[in-house]
Chains A and B, each alone.
Chain A
Amino acid sequence: MTESEISIKRKYKKLEDFDPQFFENIARRSNIFSCIQCGTCTASCESGRWTAIRTRQIVRKAALGDLSVLEDPDIWLCTTCYNCYERCPRDVRPTDVIIDLRNYASEIGNMSPNHTAVVGYLRSTGHAVPINDKIIRQREALGLDPIPPTLYKYRDEENSEIIPFHKLFRVVERGKEYKERKANSRKNLDGFEKLS
């Protein structure tokens, strides 16, 4: 084990690093403690054929409370194809486990900037993929309304319903704050837990 790996593990050894709700939630939404580590999930994984994601390991870490899995970028390589979910002989639903882990990783600020940008689009336009001028002309040529009747069309009306969308997915801000808070408190720990 390299030094940086050890320091990641140590990061989750204090009580305050754990959220007791976390395992309760995961256990409630999946059958994570039924896992027999057979590896059907890893063998069925489409992303795993090209990347380092090992679904069996992720499920094992989550079941054992090894939260270093939240620092692992691999949990973001799942394409949610649901092969493991369909084939699991113990009905563990690994896809749901990974989604729950991603939710938790987001809360502690482990998010890709590409993903947070998509949240920005949703808040400002109501779409993850906003319209552009080329498409507006294309829609006209096809005989469609130039702007579809989605929330984007009504974004400038009085009391527009786009406003409450700004409050959605605040997890982006919560995650960033958590990361900053952690970084600051770590500075006070005489550099012992300095992370790579």
Chain B
Amino acid sequence: MVKENTFSFFLGCIMPNRYPQIESATRFVMKKLGFTLMEMERATCCPAPGVFRSFDKSDWMVAAARNIAIAEKNDADILTVCNGCFGTLIDVNKHLKSDPEMAAKVNEKLKEMGDYQWKGTIRVRHIAEILGFEVGPTEIQKYIVRKAEARAAVHYGCHLLKPSRIRQLASPEIPTFLEEYVEALGVKSVDFAQKLTCCGAGGGVLSFDKNTSMKILKEKLGHMQAANPDFIFDTCPFCQLQFDGGQTTVNEIYGTNFDIPVIHMSQLTAWCMGMDMEKIGLQYQAHGKDYQFKELKEPMEKVSIKEKSIEGAG
């Protein structure tokens, strides 16, 4: 039986090694929500679905199955905060569950990697799924101490929702759960053109052809800027790397002056739960170093009025 309210915290690469503020925010949020996070010792890169899957699918599966096997030893579902890690781990986990022949092959190879066996006993979860659905926009009100007054450009990222037959989270064409979630934290989600397009970093394109990647990003940033957001809201450190570091590159190449803060779901939630602005870590990021969340006034009253009217109606 898999442990309840407990997760094996999968770190991946970009979060611990480029945006550690997302890691500390995630640990803070999950603790406040009453979840236990177990470490996944000796875990590695997921490996990234762009480069590694493109090179050799079977080696990619072996390395991913090794990570899943570490979580199985913890007897707790995997929690990831990255769309890429989510993509690799859930793809491989579900594929192996449906293909016993492949699972046997992978397990044979896993023996060379150490004392590992993939058994298929756990699930792979993304923090957007936990906060957006499991806790949900209503329940989260019990845990937050303040709301943020801001306008956010919400970016889902491709691999959170697609392929939808494997993710089974929300519609890949008109998802709404992140908007509902940020609005529950006081933030207004702004509409912008081509909202669901890719950030341009995936599939190994960022390292293969940076110019193409920056073209896609520049268009996306332009659409976001037009809606005048206070920050970009994402659920993936790789998208965050692209938006944050990419703004500098786009400005260099095209002479633009994009300067939009980029904030991960864990960072915003942690602030609403009382984490200090300094620990949210925007000062470490390339853009929006001085951005401060503004507290939304009288948010709690609105909620209580709503509840009263529901009671009255009943």
Contact = CB atoms under 8 A, between A and B. Distances in A.
Interface of A: 46-47, 49-51, 76-83, 85-86, 93, 95, 99-100, 102-103, 106, 111-112, 114-115, 117-119, 122, 126-132, 135, 138-139, 142-144, 148-151, 154, 161, 164-165, 167-172
Interface in B173-203: 173, 197-198, 200-203
B100 interface: no
Interface in B29-66: 39-45, 47-57, 59, 62-63
Contacts of B18: 129, 135
Contacts of A138: 20-21, 281, 284
B13 interface: yes
Contacts of A142: 20-21, 23-24, 279, 281
B295 to A, nearest CB: 23
Given A126-B44, A129-B17, A82 B55 contact: no
Contact of A150 (B42, B198, B279): B42
A167 B18 CA distance: 27
Given A122-B44, A161-B113, A46 B198 contact: yes
B49 A151 contact: no
Nearest to A116: B55
A111 B11 contact: no
A100 B58 CA distance: 11
Nearest to A161: B114
Contacts of A164: 112-114
Given A46-B198, A86-B163, A79 B52 contact: no
Contacts of A139: 16, 20, 23
A19 B11 CA distance: 39
Interface string B188-227: 0000000001101111110111001101100000000000
A83 B164 CA distance: 10
Interface string B70-112: 0000000000000000000000000000000000000000001
A77 B209 contact: yes
B123 interface: no
A84 to B, nearest CB: 10
Contacts of B207: 112, 114-115, 117-118
A50 B212 contact: yes
Most buried by B among A79, A83, A142: A79
Contacts of B49: 80
A106 B162 CA distance: 25
B16 A79 contact: no
B201 A127 contact: no
Given A50-B216, A86-B163, A167 B55 contact: no
A77 B178 CA distance: 29
Contacts of A129: 13-14, 17-18, 45
A139 B59 CA distance: 31
Most buried by A among B40, B54, B57, B216: B54
B241 to A, nearest CB: 8
A168 B39 CA distance: 24
A114 B211 CA distance: 14
A118 B17 contact: no
A111 to B, nearest CB: 7
A96 to B, nearest CB: 9
A171 B215 CA distance: 31
A85 B173 CA distance: 12
A99 B16 contact: no
Most buried by B among A49, A118, A139: A118
